Amino acid sequence: MSTTILGIESTAHTAGVGIITSEGTILSNQRSVYIPEEGEGIHPREAANHHSEELPKLFKKALDEANLSSRDISLVSYARGPGLGPCLRTGATAARAFAYSNDIPLLGVNHCVAHLEIGLLEGAKDPVLLYLSGANTQVIAYAAGRYRVFGETIDIGIGNGLDKFAREAGMGFPGGPKLEKIAEGDELINLPYSVKGMDLAFSGLMTAAKQKLESGYSLGQLAYSVQETAFAMSCEVSERALAHTGKTELVLGGGVACNSRLREMAMTMASERGVKCFVPEKALCVDNGVMVAWLGHQMMNADYQITEEDNVVNQRYRTDMVEVTWR
């Protein structure tokens, strides 16, 4: 029997409500993004205020678009971490209110795992996930009962790094897409390339870029060079993870995976290695409620037993803390 699952996302900038059927048909994907004040980064409380104002509207919009009433929903799934405390609590509160008032089961899931699982909807079976977002930069693959982190950033997330550089250059949030637009030329400015085994570091790269900007290099050429360097590092570590695990599929996820140059590089790397590359559509790469709903469905479909702990938010809910019981 087909069921309908509603998912709530609120880990950082994005408030999202998505609805998907148990067959994987997306009925609605509503999102609203908190934009910080000019020249500032994310303020957790302000973002949470944004989410608490937007989420009720998003619920209504999603149900309207899907042409459903709240009684038609069989499971409410929300991202219980990792993320910013106030934002997570706002999403959890909205999820509880909606689930309890309509007598629907409620499940809190891991945000990073949701990014990976939505990639499986594209047809990948057992991939390596290159997950590049604001705060998260990880290379993840399944091994012995868990999604394991084979490599990750040892300082800042790639997206936060890009945003920060863009902010220093006078561009507002989100900075990554703005850098992509102004990136120009084909000449590379030398910047630190920091790969340690399967781990990455971005802060030195972004600081060097900022210094070069101050010393008079052109912003367009720097944006180009930052992208070339940071994305090559990301592709290299995912290549290592592919070689190490022997897996033959690569999935991209996270907001930075919307970048066309990154997509192009990942596809080149995959074809050189003879592996398949799956790139979800942009609306599913960025933070969204659909992926949260889909993961909730996967878990419940495999008779996952909800515990009390599953409905408590966890700011530091790591990918590899999740015991994968549904595959």
Partner 1 sequence: MKFRGAEAIVETVEWNGQIVVSKVRNKRGYRHPSLEKRLVVERLRSESRIMERLLSRGISVPALYSVNISDNSLLMEYIDGSTLEKALREKDFKNHLVKTAELLTMIHSCNVVHGDPTTSNFLVTDKIHVIDFGLSSISEDDEDRASDLRVFLESLDSHHSEINGRDIFLSAYTKWAKSKPVLEALKVLELRGRYNLMRG
* Per CB under 8 A, 166 contacts partner 1: no
Rounded-to-integer distance, Cα 168 and Cα 161, Å: 11
Candidates 45-53, 73-81, 97-105, 265-273; binding stretch for partner 1 (CB under 8 A): 265-273
Rounded-to-integer distance, Cα 283 and Cα 6, Å: 16
Rounded-to-integer distance, Cα 220 and Cα 236, Å: 24
Rounded-to-integer distance, Cα 172 and Cα 181, Å: 13
* Per CB under 8 A, 156 contacts partner 1: no
According to DSSP, the residues that pair with 195 across neighbouring strands are: 200
Rounded-to-integer distance, Cα 281 and Cα 283, Å: 6
* Per CB under 8 A, 252 contacts partner 1: no
Find the shortest distance in angstroms from Cβ 110 to partner 1: 13
- Amino acid identity of 140? I
Site mask, partner 1, residues 270-289, x = CB under 8 A?
--x-----------------
- Taking CB under 8 A as the criterion, the residue among 68, 97, 283, 321 binding partner 1 is 321
Taken as a whole, the chain contains a residue count of: 327
Residue 242, token pair as written in the block = 């592919």
Candidates 57-65, 113-121, 125-133, 224-232; binding stretch for partner 1 (CB under 8 A): 224-232
Candidates 113-121, 235-243, 247-255, 280-288; binding stretch for partner 1 (CB under 8 A): 235-243
Task: Give, rounded to a whole angstrom, the gap between the first and last alpha carbons of the chain.
Answer: 20
Site mask, partner 1, residues 173-202, x = CB under 8 A?
-------------x-x-x--x---x-----
C-alpha 54: how far from its chain's center?
20
Rounded-to-integer distance, Cα 278 and Cα 121, Å: 10
Site for partner 1 in 44-103 (CB under 8 A): none
Site residues, partner 1 (CB under 8 A): 144-146, 148-149, 152, 186, 188, 190, 193, 197, 228-229, 232, 235-236, 239-240, 242-244, 264-266, 268-269, 272, 318, 320-321
